[in-house]
Structure 1
Amino acid sequence: MGSGVFIHRLDSIYDDSPAEQYQFPGQYLSRVEACIGDWIIYYEPRKVAETRGYFAIARVQQVIPDPGTSGIYLALMEPGSYLDFANPVAFNGPTGLVERGVLNAQGRISGRAQSAVRAISPDDFNRIFELGFAETAPMLPRVDADVQSQFGEKEQAPFKFEQQRDRVSLTVSRILRDRVFRRIVLRAYDERCAITGLKLINGMGRAEVAAAHIRSVEADGPDIVSNGIALSGTAHWMFDRGSISLADDLKILISRQTNDLDGVRAVINKTGRAHEPKRLSDRPHPHFLKWHREHCFKH
């Protein structure tokens, strides 16, 4: 086993869904197979506008031939292993390249940096991982009251590394996932409630919105931004209890079972549509919205 870097871009010709699968041609088969059972880092190339750089981790579970295309393969990710970085990591940071394995003997960037799949050393993996989850922003260290009461203060340690025979093994706790999920969702929505359109900041500088899962964690909903939505307290309550939902075009749907229809209409966004993230990949995925309409929304 070994860790790797997988290049992914939103406009790729390949059928990638980073939390679930990575599609690639046969020329990379041996490199991807070397990552089975281990963690990989997703990287968005510098040529992409507003690139995120190194932006997430996932664990490769298995590799299979693509049933629909000859000579193409799928790396299937371990369910629940995908996690966006709290802080996307730039290819070239303040102290130079973070992935030093792409340098040649002369200290210059080699052709390896263009490879869609490449191995990464434990040192480079650790460096990127630590930068990606560095707790420097104010919204990341906060833990919601319900999470605190469930886990207790002594559960605050977000992650740990275990170095063993030069392999990187990491355990990502539920509490880290909750905190990172909050950060990436609030960042995508500019800390604004998607339903009311309000952006409220309290006296401590904290946004008064929560990061809600569209498909719940209990129903195997992933901790990815496209399965998240920023909601204020009342909107969150209504969303979780099926009083409101969203159509695929983000039109706000109000349940006919709502006891105060006029009151709900008064608090939702006047456009009748949810406030949405700028990045297309950050917007609620129709797959998760359909699940919410079918399993939560009270028609």
Structure 2
Amino acid sequence: MKAISYRSYGGPEVLEYGEVRDPKVGPDSVLVKVRAAAVNPVDWKCREGHLDGLLDPVFPVIPGWDVSGVVVQPGAAAPEFAVGDEVIGYVREDFLSRGTFAEYVAAPIRTLARKPRNLTFEEAAGLPLAGLTAYQVINQALEVTEGDVVLVHAAAGGVGSIAVQLARHAGARVIGTASERNHDYLRDLGAEPVTYGDGLVDRVRGLAPEGVDAAFDPVGGDTLKASAELLSPGGRLASIADGGVIGLGGHYCFVRPVAADLQRLSELAEQDVVTVHVDRTFPLERAAEAHRLSEEGRTRGKIVVTVEWKE
């Protein structure tokens, strides 16, 4: 099959497009014909070796953890899905090798859910990792409820934009940080926008003088410190970027591929509670360009790689 792969850590230039071995389908997996795969910051961080202490690479590595596609072969012990089922998945294993930037991926059933019927394959591919991250932080780590004031940083990004929608669905008031060009987008999502950078704490306090009940930090560093400073007494703090949050009494969250959570997200998408904004799409062979764009960190919503198929 055709796929993107890399044989050593490095920049986008190490990504190669060409033939690789077809995946084997284990008993608890299904073979998915890939229609689209979203790009996430973790993809290029893995490619550069930043997760080497956590995940062993088995070169050549096919990048990508997000996928939307169609089941073409169920495994021997995977009755949950049948040929023709449209699915989405956060196909993360405990090593780097068999990713989703390919024509096919063998996906463990624990990583899959049914694709939202009202989303395109491109939109659906942007839901799993970003959606699960937002869902597990907003609903489980921060336990956002009606009446909370919630601060979401990088609120126009893939994770942040879904976090805003989930918090609003829970009945919270949401303050979101973003560049000024994304403020109207945040208003459309139901958030009150604030420009990040110098003076952020004062600007947020101008909207929430008594502090915020919960803060979601996907950036770390100074953003995490500002979040802690802005909490009201008893406020909750979570970060997906900085383990220092634990020392501040908060939660450090690393997203898990939980099928039940992903299925719930699919249902919320079908109810128009959660939408996915696709900023740019690239064909599979131009995945290096998609990685470069992701590394710039200025994307509104998701970057998606598509796989063209002749029916």
| TM-score, normalisation: structure 2 | 0.34
Greater fraction strand: 2
Greater relative contact order (Cα < 8 A, sep 6+):
2
| TM-score, normalisation: structure 1 | 0.35
Greater fraction helix: 2
